[in-house]
Amino acid sequence: MKSRVFSATRASGRLHLGNYLGAVKGYLALQERSDLECVFMAVDLHTITTPYDAKTLPQASREIIIDYLAAGLDPERVVVTLQSLVSEHSELAFLFSSVVSIARMQHLPTFKDKVKQHPNHVTMALLNYPLLMAADILVYKAGLVPVGIDQEPHLEVAREIARKMNELYGMDFPEPQRFATRGEYVPSLAGAGKMSKSVEGSYINLTDDLATIKKRLAGAPTDSGRGETIPTQGGVANLLKFVELIQGADRRAEYEASYQGAGLRYGDLKNELAAAIFAELAPIQERRRTFEADPKKLEEIIQTGATKARAIASITLKEVKTKMGLG
Ligand code: TYM
C-alpha cells in the first residue's frame, strides 16, 4: 500500500504567495512521487468556524480548487476535492472529540488568536477546529502533511490523537509529520508577522497582475538603505527574505553587500522583485483562465475526487467505529 499525503486550504479568499510557497509548492513536489497517494482539499467545513457568507462559500471553495489546478496539481494523479463532500471527516472528528479534553483545545495558541479576532463568535465549531483537521489527515492514515510552519501546533494535536486512538482502541494511525518547503514561513509585506489573508497589505495573491504586485510591494516599509548590520526583522528583513525565496540566495547576498557598502536602492529592488514574482505567477494565471472557462470540467474533477476520497475514508471510519464498539 502506498503512503498517503493530505493537505488543505480554508476557503476564505484566493491563494496568496504564502499559501503557494509554504504549502502548494510542497503539494507539487509530492505529486511527483509515485510511492505516495495524495489528497488535497478546500476545507469548507473549517471555513464556517469563523464568520462567513453562505451565499459565496460554494464559489470561494471552487476558487481554491481552481488555484490548485492552475498551480499545477494534476487530478489524474492526485485527489482534489471539497471537504464537505466527504462526510466521513466530520463523523471521525466527533469520535475523536471523545479522547481530547476541552482544556487542551482552549490552550492552543491558534484558538486564542481566533478568539481575539472574533470575540463574539467563539463557537463549538472553532474549539473543534483542530479535531476536524486531525480527522482530515487521519481518515486517510496520512503520514505526511505539506503545510507552513504555522500549522505545527495543529499537527501536534493530530499526533496526540493518533497515539491515543492507537493505545485505547488498537488503531494503526501514523503520527503525521510536516513536509516543509523553503517557504515554510513567508513574512508579511507590512513588516511584522506572516503573510495572511486576514491582514490587508500583508499579501500578494496568485492572481495579481504586475501593476498590483508593484503597488503592494511599494507599501512595504524600508529604511535609509545603508548600515553595518543587516536587519533581522521588520520591512527590510522581510523584503530580503522575499528576494531569497523568489530570486535566490545569491541575489540576496548582492543586496546585502550593497546595504553594507554603497547603499541599497529599494526602488530598484522592488521593481526587480515584482518582475520576478510576476514571472513565477504568469503561467499559473494563464492556466487559471482555462479552468475558469470550463465550470463543467471543474465540477467533474471535484465529484470524481470526492468519490475517490470517500472510498478510502469510509474504510478507516468503519474500522474506527468497530474498534470503538459502535454500530
Ligand atoms: P490556511 O488555509 O490558513 O493556509 C493554507 C496553507 O498555507 C500555509 N500558509 C503559509 N505558509 C507559509 N507562510 C505563510 N505566511 C503562510 N500562510 C499560510 C498554511 O500553513 C497552510 O499549509 N488549518 C489549515 C487548513 C487545514 C489543513 C487540514 C491543513 C484544515 N485541515 C489538514 C493540512 C491538513 C489552515 O488554516 O490553512
How much distance in Å is there from the Cα of 151 to the middle of ligand 1? 6
| Alpha carbon distance 275, 210 (integer Å) | 7
What is the per-residue pLDDT across 189-236, written as a single tens digit (0 to 9) for each?
A: 998 999 998 888 999 999 999 999 999 999 999 999 999 999 999 999
* Candidate from 187-201, 235-249, 253-267 with smallest mean pLDDT: 187-201
Under the banding of pLDDT at 50, 70 and 90, the label for residue 299 is very high
Provide the 3-class DSSP secondary structure of residue 95: helix
pLDDT of 44 higher than 80: yes
C-alpha cell recorded at residue 275: 518582475
How much distance in Å is there from the Cα of 150 to the middle of ligand 1? 7
Q: Is the CB of 134 inside a 6 Å radius of any atom of ligand 1? A: no
- Nearest alpha carbon, ligand 1 atom 37: 9
On whether the CB atoms of residues 82 and 126 are closer than 8 A, the answer is no
What is the per-residue pLDDT across 78-131, written as a single tens digit (0 to 9) for each?
A: 999 999 999 999 999 999 999 999 999 999 999 999 999 999 999 999 999 999
Position in ligand 1 atom list of the atom nearest CA 194: 15
Q: In whole angstroms, how far apart are CA 294 and each of 70, 287, 301, 306? A: 13, 12, 11, 19
Q: What is the pLDDT of residue 257?
A: 97
Q: Is the CB of 153 inside a 6 Å radius of any atom of ligand 1? A: no
Q: Which of 164, 194, 241, 323 is catalytic?
A: 194
Q: Is the CB of 26 inside a 6 Å radius of any atom of ligand 1? A: no
How much distance in Å is there from the Cα of 223 to the middle of ligand 1? 31
Quick check: is 164 catalytic? Answer: no
Domains of the chain in start order, with CATH, are: 3-184+294-323 (3.40.50.620), 210-289 (no CATH)
Q: What does the radius of gyration of the chain's CA atoms come to, in whole angstroms?
A: 21
Q: What is the mean pLDDT of residues 145-157?
A: 97
Q: What is the mean pLDDT of residues 255-278?
A: 97
- Nearest alpha carbon, ligand 1 atom 20: 148
On whether the CB atoms of residues 89 and 313 are closer than 8 A, the answer is yes
How much distance in Å is there from the Cα of 271 to the middle of ligand 1? 29
pLDDT of 12 higher than 90: no
On whether the CB atoms of residues 310 and 88 are closer than 8 A, the answer is yes
Q: Is the CB of 22 inside a 6 Å radius of any atom of ligand 1? A: yes
Q: Is the CB of 158 inside a 6 Å radius of any atom of ligand 1? A: no
- How many alpha carbons lie under 13 Å from residue 179 in its C-beta half-sphere? 21
Average pLDDT, the chain: 97
Pocket probe for ligand 1: among 9, 30, 159, 204, the residue whose CB has the most ligand atoms within 8 Å is: 9
Q: Which of 114, 141, 270, 308 is catalytic?
A: 114
pLDDT of 1 higher than 80: no
Q: What is the pLDDT of residue 99?
A: 98
pLDDT of 266 higher than 90: yes
Q: What is the pLDDT of residue 13?
A: 83
Evaluated on CA atoms 319, 320, 325, 327, the torsion sign reads negative
Q: Is the CB of 138 inside a 6 Å radius of any atom of ligand 1? A: no
Looking at the chain, the whole-number percentage of residues with pLDDT higher than 90 is 96
Query: pTM of whole model > 0.75?
Result: yes
Quick check: is 197 catalytic? Answer: yes
| Alpha carbon distance 261, 228 (integer Å) | 8
How much distance in Å is there from the Cα of 34 to the middle of ligand 1? 24
Q: What is the pLDDT of residue 305?
A: 98
- Nearest alpha carbon, ligand 1 atom 33: 7
* DSSP strands (E only) in the chain: 3-10, 36-43, 79-82, 144-146, 177-179
pLDDT of 262 higher than 90: yes
- Nearest alpha carbon, ligand 1 atom 6: 19
Position in ligand 1 atom list of the atom nearest CA 146: 22
- Nearest alpha carbon, ligand 1 atom 18: 19
